[in-house]
Amino acid sequence: MKYEAGLQKDRAEKKSLIIEHLHSLQDANPKQFLSEDDLKKCAKEFNLTMAEVYGIASYYSMFSLKPRGKYIIRLCKSSVCHMMGAENMASKIESLCKTKFGNTSANDLFTLEYAECLGQCEKAPAMMINKNVHGSLNPESLEKIIENLKKENA
């Protein structure tokens, strides 16, 4: 009986790495999302059903189940950024990136997402582009950041 308990414990401990594993699968996917194949790989790795893996992947907002662009713009919309003008930044971002929040631009360059508090409140309004933080946003600084990315990819 004892070895069975040990086996169960090992399995449980391994499962605690599943979020890490999903992060790394998503980071490795050129379209920055978890494809059905990715989920299958994860299910096999952890000996779980697809339903279980899907349940986990779909719960957490940092995981995407649909393909995304090269740059994921995550604009903070929580209270401090909201008060400091995040909504104006949102419409500016939409017009600069030529797509709406929740979507990816036609050239696959930008995906626009809202995020809850990013913990950058002293620099509100703030956003992340992929893993980098940009704070104290205003229409001018936004334009500069996004036009630069466009130029790099022209």
Residues lying near another protein in the complex (CB under 8 A): 9, 12-13, 15-20, 22-23, 46, 55-56, 59-63, 74, 77-80, 82-84, 115-122, 124, 128, 131-133
Cβ 31 to another protein shortest distance, Å: 18
Residue closer to another protein (CB basis): 19 or 35: 19
Beta strands in 23-135 (DSSP E): 71-76, 110-115, 127-129, 132-134
Cβ 133 to another protein shortest distance, Å: 8
Residue closer to another protein (CB basis): 46 or 101: 46
Residue 2's CB is within 10 A of a number of other CB atoms, namely 6
Task: Tell me the CA distances in angstroms from 88 to 30, 124, 142, one per residue in order.
Answer: 31, 13, 11
